[in-house]
Amino acid sequence: PTILLRALHEWETMRQLEEEKALGRPSSEVARCVAPVFTLPFFESKTAELVTQVAYQSRFSLEFLYQEGLIKRDGTTRNLANICAHLFEAEPANLILGRLLSSGLLHEYLNAEATKTVKGDRRSHLTVKLASVLGWIFFRLRLPRNVPKRPPRKKFLPSEGCPKLPPLPPRIRKEIQEYNKQLIEIYQQFAYSVAVTRKVGGIDVTLPTSQKSFRYKLDERGEPFDGKDGAFGPEFFGQMVKYKARSPFSALGGVGDHFRSPVDLCKNCRNVLHLDLNAIPTVANPPGLANDGDLEATNSWLLDYMIHGQRRYLWEDNGINATKAYKLIDDFIQMLKKAHKAFKALAPEKDIVLTTFDALAKELEQLQRKTQK
C-alpha cells in the first residue's frame, strides 16, 4: 500500500508543477511510465492469473488507504499521508505510526508516563518508554530460538522480561489488533475477487507433485436424487460448504472462504492466486494457521540497549550478533531522524512526541559513539 501512496503523493506534486508550467515532460508520459508498477506482474506463474491479481491488488490497496484515512475518494492524499510516505522503508510500521498519531494514542501514552518519570530511575524515562512501544513496530524481531546461557553480572542488566518486550499499553495494543483485523479482511476480499474470475476445476483439483487429478463435480451419470424439488436433495445440498477462494483440498475440512489468519490465506488459497506472506503488512501477527487476534511476542533488543547501553550484551540477552546489532541501531536512528523531520513540519515546537523522538535519536547516537570507543 505504501508504494501506491507514494505514487499518489508524487502525482499531486507533479500536477502542481504542471499547473506552474515547471514540469519537464507531459503528465501522460509520466503516467505511462508508472502504470506498469500497478498493472503488470514482476514474474510468471503457470497457474496464477497474475495480471488479474495485480490489478485487483492495486484496487484493494486503494480501498485500504481510504479506510485508513490517508486518501480521499478522488485519490488525493490527506491527514498524515505525507508522514507515511516519507517513512516508506519501514512499512508496515509507518502505517501503524500514522494510526497512533492520528488517534492521539501515542500522545496520550507519553503524557501519562511523563508524570511518572523519576530522574534517578533510567527505566522510567520517556525515551525508554517510547522505545518499549516503538520496539513492537519498527525493526521488530521475533524472540530468539535459543539464547546462550547468560553469565551472572552485577551491572548492565537488561529489562525485566528480557528477551521479551513488556506488553503494549492496552489502548495501543487494541489499535494494532484492529489494524491487523482490518488488513486481513481487506486481503480476504481481494483473494475472493481474484478467485471468482476463474471457475473451480481442472488444475485446482490436481496434486502438484503426482499430477493426479480428482473429480470436482458429479460424474456423467448426474445427480443421484432431485436437488431441487425432492425432500432429501435440497436439505443435503443446502448444508454443503461453499467456497471460491479456498483450495478444494483445504475445503475438505469443512471450511469455506473465511481464512483465520494470513498464513491460512497464503497456504490454502486456490492456485489462481500467488500470495506471499511477507507482502501482507501485518504487525506482530502470530505465525500460526489460527489467529485469536493476540500479538506475537517481540524481541526486547531496543529496550535492553536503551537500559544498559552495551551492544555486546545483545548477543547474550537477545541472540543478536555485533554486526546485526550495529545495523539495527543505526537504521533505527536514521528512522527516528526522518520521523522527527516530518513531525517538525506539522507539530508545535514543544509537542511531546516531537521532543521525545528527537531525544531518543540523540541518546541512541550517543550510546553508539560511546560503544565504538
| Statement: residue 373 has pLDDT above 60 | no
Instruction: Kindly state the average pLDDT of the residues 18-34.
Output: 84
Which of the given ranges, 96-105, 118-127, 217-226, has the highest pLDDT on average?
96-105
Model confidence band, residue 220 (pLDDT cutoffs 50, 70, 90)? confident
| Statement: residue 228 has pLDDT above 70 | no
Average pLDDT over the chain reads: 89
In the block, cell 424439488 appears at 229
Instruction: Kindly state the average pLDDT of the residues 183-197.
Output: 93
Q: What is the pLDDT of residue 372?
A: 64
* Of the listed ranges 27-36, 182-191, 204-213, the one predicted with least confidence: 204-213
Cα 151 from Cα 166, distance rounded (Å)? 23
- Residue 120 burial (CB count, 10 A): 5
Q: What is the pLDDT of residue 227?
A: 59
Residues 6+ apart with CB under 8 A from 256: 241, 242, 243, 246
Evaluated on CA atoms 361, 363, 366, 368, the torsion sign reads: negative
What backbone phi and psi angles, to 5 degrees, belong to 138? -100, 130
Give residue-wise pLDDT tens across range 154-167.
888 888 888 899 99
Q: What is the pLDDT of residue 190?
A: 95
Instruction: Kindly state the average pLDDT of the residues 5-26.
Output: 86
Q: What is the pLDDT of residue 187?
A: 94
Model confidence band, residue 186 (pLDDT cutoffs 50, 70, 90)? very high
**Closest by Cα among 155, 135, 168 to 320:** 135
Burial of 95 (0-12, 13-18, 19+ CB in 10 A): buried
Model confidence band, residue 107 (pLDDT cutoffs 50, 70, 90)? very high
Q: What is the pLDDT of residue 207?
A: 84
- Residue 338 burial (CB count, 10 A): 19
| 3-state SS, residue 206 | strand
Give residue-wise pLDDT tens across range 233-259.
777 777 878 889 999 888 888 888 889
Residue type (1 letter), 39? T
| 3-state SS, residue 299 | strand
Instruction: Kindly state the average pLDDT of the residues 137-145.
Output: 90
